[in-house]
């Protein structure tokens, strides 16, 4: 609503006593310029928050990362580092291939003599405290830095990093869409360091409900939706006993309210058995990957194949590329989290054959053995087809959408996803900009007067001129902006 002059006058009076303090505060909270970052390299990010857990933040973003891409948080194991995990785990390959950013939190010997994340310390691994709080500050910083999609944030970790991953999934189920616990421990298995060894080496003899309660009490009052969780465990692990994989499965299937009997089981490469527990809609919710003969570590599989990744090293063991199957389980390949581990190859020749202001038409080559095809828009399944064409409808004008297709066999197993194509609908879409008032003014979309901010063109009152107030402005015509906080 345009502001009348008398409102400005009254506000000037109310602000007079505090104007000096406000000016000082404005100087103090002027946004820092983004850290210079070479796309495609691992970079340390400083000044990401108050950092109560005394962690370091490293991040990797591929070149030309689009706004609205997923974000993966990857936690190293004991005696490891962010750089070590980035080099060996294989996440860089899929970040480049499928387009997402990766944040690597790093702890140190100042926190733990072996540089382990403190998954066993309730002062550090619970919501809003210590290392958990620092990692959430990293997430917020990365979302602002890369424009990441808050509905597609995932966390994974090895060993102590896996234990912290389980804790984070329990602490922040409202933040993480999925997780992967690699050779790790159930959420809140131990609350003191003296109790940690019991979790590592012994069966805790808890029921699924008791395990599930540890998750539910980590964020009281939260009732879903819950993260989709992949669990990796070697059968010959003597550091984190294989029973932890079973306990993790019991914990998260109970949280989901589903049974512990697998909905489907199949054999994968590297002596790996994949057991999937589906949710009530038939979508994979919990996956347990048991790797026969593997000791303690992260499963990698060096090579150039589509399902290969990583490099071997201390605690990086050559069996199967766990990062590939985890990413597909989450749907980072565009499969929408449908599992995507069936044997059918990816359809080739996916092409956009036409668009209107509300539709996109697709075609692709047939796959031998396919009973149908799933179609995914921006990583979410939007339909299926028995033939090799599909028309997606209900789209917004002047908007770009990313599509992939996967073949489905007669048993319902979803195969590999195709490479993505982009369809841009015809017409024009309104331009919208969400930012704090300070940045809106600096970008020329608003102006300030006497400590308050007003939208250019409409002169709508946006509140105080600082970084603490955020609005969405819609440019309805060149240089004319209106407040569109309720939607654009």
Q: Is the peptide bond before 225 cis (omega within 30 degrees of 0)?
A: yes
> Does 305 reside within a domain?
yes
Tokens 């993966």 sit at which residue?
72
Q: Are 274 and 334 in contact (CB under 8 A)?
A: no
CA–CA separation, 53 vs 195, rounded Å? 21
Mind listing the pLDDT tens digit for each residue in 82-99?
Answer: 999 999 999 999 999 999
Greater confidence (416 vs 134) lies with: 134
> For residue 227, is pLDDT > 90?
yes
**Number of folded domains that form the chain:** 3
Boundary residue ending a domain (299, 330, 361):
330
Are 304 and 356 part of one and the same domain?
no
Give the domain range for residue 163: 43-330
> Does 320 reside within a domain?
yes
| CATH at residue 366 | 2.60.40.10
CB-hemisphere CA count at 13 Å for 47?
Answer: 7
> Does 338 reside within a domain?
no
CA–CA separation, 417 vs 346, rounded Å? 5
- Residue 462 CA, chain-centre distance (Å), reads 32
- Max distance between CA atoms of the chain, in angstroms, equals 77
Mean pLDDT of the region 271-289: 92
Boundary residue ending a domain (424, 445, 469):
424
> Does 47 reside within a domain?
yes
Backbone torsion region of residue 58, taken as left when φ is above 0, otherwise alpha when ψ lies between -120 and 50, otherwise beta: beta
CA–CA separation, 330 vs 74, rounded Å? 14
Tokens 């990062």 sit at which residue?
323
Where b means 16+ CB within 10 Å and e means fewer, 277-299 reads bbbeeebbbbbbbbbeebebbbb
Would you state the pLDDT for residue 413? 78
The closest of 435, 337, 486, 465 to 26, measured between CA atoms, is 465
Are 132 and 232 part of one and the same domain?
yes
Are 392 and 378 part of one and the same domain?
yes
Are 127 and 241 part of one and the same domain?
yes
> Does 337 reside within a domain?
no
Greater confidence (401 vs 168) lies with: 168
> Does 122 reside within a domain?
yes
Are 65 and 130 part of one and the same domain?
yes
197 flagged as catalytic = no
Give me the sign of the Cα torsion angle 483, 424, 326, 223.
Answer: positive
Mind listing the pLDDT tens digit for each residue in 315-348?
Answer: 999 999 999 999 999 999 876 655 455 668 889 9
Which residue is catalytic, options 89, 115, 159, 323?
A: 159
The overall average pLDDT reported for the chain is 88
Are 449 and 419 part of one and the same domain?
no
> Does 280 reside within a domain?
yes
Q: Which two tokens stand for residue 30?
A: 């002027």
Are 108 and 129 part of one and the same domain?
yes
CA–CA separation, 255 vs 274, rounded Å? 20
The closest of 192, 52, 76, 188 to 126, measured between CA atoms, is 188
> For residue 108, is pLDDT > 90?
yes
Are 470 and 322 part of one and the same domain?
no
Would you state the pLDDT for residue 429? 67
Would you state the pLDDT for residue 27? 28
> Does 229 reside within a domain?
yes
| CATH at residue 186 | 3.40.50.1820
Would you state the pLDDT for residue 486? 76
Are 194 and 107 part of one and the same domain?
yes
The pTM is what? 0.66
Are 23 and 58 part of one and the same domain?
no
Candidate from 48-52, 106-110, 190-194 with smallest mean pLDDT:
190-194
CA–CA separation, 63 vs 262, rounded Å? 39
Mind listing the pLDDT tens digit for each residue in 29-55?
Answer: 222 333 334 567 999 999 999 999 999
CA–CA separation, 69 vs 363, rounded Å? 25
Residue 94's alpha-carbon distances to 274, 294, 305, 332, in angstroms, are: 21, 23, 12, 9
Mind listing the pLDDT tens digit for each residue in 344-375?
Answer: 888 999 999 999 989 999 999 999 989 999 99
Are 194 and 234 part of one and the same domain?
yes
Boundary residue ending a domain (424, 441, 465):
424
CA–CA separation, 71 vs 41, rounded Å? 16
3-state secondary structure the chain: CECCHHHHHHHHHHHHCCHHHHHHHHHHCCCCCCCCCCCCCCEEECCCCCCCCCCEEEEECCCCCCCCCCEEEEECCCCCCHHHHHHHHCHHHHHHHHCCEEEEEECCCCCCCCCCCCCCCCCCCCCCCHHHHHHHHHHHHHHHHHCCCCCCEEEEEECHHHHHHHHHHHHCCCCCCEEEEECCCCCCCCCCHHHHHHHHHCCCCCCHHHHHHHHHCCCCCCCCCCCEEEEEEECCCCCCCCHHHHHHHHHHHHHHCCCCCCCEEEEECCCEEEEEEECCCCCEEEEEEEECCCCCCEEEECCCCCCCECCCECCEEECCCHHHHHHHHHCCCCCCCCCCCCCCCCCCCCEEEEECCCCEEEECCCCCCCCEEEEEECCEEEEEECCCEEEECCCCCCCEEEEEEEEECCCCCEEEECCCEEEECCCCCCEEEEEEHHHHHHCCCEEEECCEEEECECCEEEEECCCCCEEEEEEEECCEEEECCCCC
Would you state the pLDDT for residue 417? 75
Are 151 and 239 part of one and the same domain?
yes
């Amino acid at each position: 609503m345009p502001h009348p002059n008398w409102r400005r006058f009254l506000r000037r009076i109310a602000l007079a006593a505090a104007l000096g303090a406000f000016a000082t505060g404005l100087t103090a909270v002027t946004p820092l310029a983004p850290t210079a970052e070479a796309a495609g390299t691992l970079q340390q990010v400083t000044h990401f928050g108050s950092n109560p857990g005394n962690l370091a933040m490293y991040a990797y973003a591929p070149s030309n990362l689009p706004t609205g891409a997923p974000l993966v948080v990857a936690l190293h194991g004991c005696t490891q580092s962010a750089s070590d995990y980035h080099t060996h785990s294989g996440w860089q390959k899929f970040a480049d291939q499928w387009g997402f950013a990766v944040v690597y939190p790093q702890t140190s010997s100042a926190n733990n003599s072996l540089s382990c994340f403190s998954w066993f310390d309730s002062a550090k691994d619970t919501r809003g405290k210590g290392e958990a709080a620092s990692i959430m500050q990293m997430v917020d910083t990365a979302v602002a830095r890369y424009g990441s999609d808050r509905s597609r944030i995932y966390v994974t970790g090895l060993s102590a990093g896996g234990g912290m991953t389980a804790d984070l999934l329990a602490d922040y189920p409202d933040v993480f869409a999925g997780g992967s616990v690699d050779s790790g421990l159930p959420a809140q298995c131990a609350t003191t360091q003296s109790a940690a060894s019991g979790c590592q080496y012994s069966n805790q003899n808890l029921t699924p409900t008791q395990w599930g309660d540890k998750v539910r009490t980590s964020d009281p009052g939260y009732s879903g939706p819950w993260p989709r969780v992949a669990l990796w465990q070697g059968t010959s692990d003597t550091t984190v006993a294989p029973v932890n994989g079973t306990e993790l499965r019991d914990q998260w299937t109970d949280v989901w309210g589903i049974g512990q009997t697998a909905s489907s089981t199949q054999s994968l490469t590297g002596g790996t058995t994949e057991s999937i527990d589906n949710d009530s809609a038939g979508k994979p919710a919990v996956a347990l990957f048991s790797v026969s003969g593997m000791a303690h570590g992260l499963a990698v599989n060096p090579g150039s194949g589509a399902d290969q990744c990583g490099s071997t090293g201390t605690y990086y063991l050559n069996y199967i590329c766990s990062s590939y199957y985890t990413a597909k389980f989450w749907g980072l390949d565009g499969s929408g989290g449908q599992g995507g581990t069936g044997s059918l190859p990816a359809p080739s020749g996916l092409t956009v054959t036409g668009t209107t202001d509300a539709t996109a038409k697709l075609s692709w080559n047939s796959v031998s053995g396919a009973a149908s095809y799933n179609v995914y828009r921006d990583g979410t399944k939007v339909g299926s087809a028995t033939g090799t064409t599909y028309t997606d409808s209900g789209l917004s004008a002047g908007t770009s959408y990313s599509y992939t297709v996967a073949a489905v066999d007669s048993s319902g197993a979803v195969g590999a996803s195709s490479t993505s194509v982009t369809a841009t609908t015809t017409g024009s879409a309104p331009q919208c900009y969400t930012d704090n008032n300070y940045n809106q003014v600096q970008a020329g979309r608003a102006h300030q007067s006497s400590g308050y901010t007003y939208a250019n063109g409409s002169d709508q009152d946006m509140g105080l001129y600082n970084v603490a107030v955020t609005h969405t402005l819609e440019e309805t015509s060149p240089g004319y902006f209106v407040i569109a906080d309720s939607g654009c």
